[in-house]
Amino acid sequence: MKNDLLIRAARGEPVERTPVWMMRQAGRYLPEYRAIRADTDFLTLCKTPELAVEVSLQPYRIIGVDAVIMFSDILIPVEAMGQEVRLTEQKGPELPDPIRTRDQVDRLIVPDPIEKTGFVMDIIRTLRQELNGAVPLIGFAGAPWTLAAYMIEGGGSRNYANVKRMMFTEPTTFHALLDKISDAIILYLNAQIEAGAQVIQLFDSWAGELSREDYEQFALPYEQKIFASINHSAAPAILFINGCGNFLEKMATSGADVLSIDWRIDLRDARARVGPQLTLQGNLDPCVLLSTPEIITEKARELIRAGGGHRHILNLGHGILPMTPVENARAFIEAAKTVLE
Single out the catalytic residue among 29, 33, 60, 150: 150
φ and ψ at residue 271, rounded to 5 degrees:
-60, -45
Single out the catalytic residue among 17, 24, 273, 301: 24
pLDDT at 278: 98
pLDDT at 247: 97
Single out the catalytic residue among 73, 183, 257, 262: 73
In this structure, the strands spanning 92-94 and 86-88 are: antiparallel
Active site residue 128: no
Instruction: For residue 247, give every residue at least 6 positions away whose Cβ sits within 8 Å of its Cβ, in sequence order, or none.
Output: 210, 212, 215, 216, 220
pLDDT at 92: 82
Single out the catalytic residue among 37, 215, 257, 271: 37
pLDDT at 341: 43
Active site residue 73: yes
pTM of the predicted model over 0.85: yes
Active site residue 160: no
pLDDT at 339: 60
Active site residue 28: yes
- What CATH number was assigned to the domain covering residues 5-337? 3.20.20.210
One-letter amino acid identity for 138? I
CA–CA separation, 59 and 231 (whole Å): 27
Single out the catalytic residue among 11, 17, 28, 102: 28
Could you tell me the residue ranges of all domains in the chain?
5-337
Active site residue 150: yes
- Contact (Cβ atoms closer than 8 angstroms) between residue 76 and residue 117: yes
Q: What is the pLDDT along the chain (341 residues), one digit of tens a residue?
A: 999 999 999 999 999 999 999 999 999 999 999 999 999 999 999 999 999 999 999 999 999 999 999 999 999 999 999 999 998 767 789 999 999 999 999 999 999 999 999 999 999 999 999 999 999 999 999 999 999 999 999 999 889 999 999 999 999 999 999 999 999 999 999 999 999 999 999 999 999 999 999 999 999 999 999 999 999 999 999 999 999 999 999 999 999 999 999 999 999 999 999 999 999 999 999 999 999 999 999 999 999 999 999 999 999 999 999 999 999 999 999 999 986 54
One-letter amino acid identity for 335? A
pLDDT at 338: 85
One-letter amino acid identity for 11? R
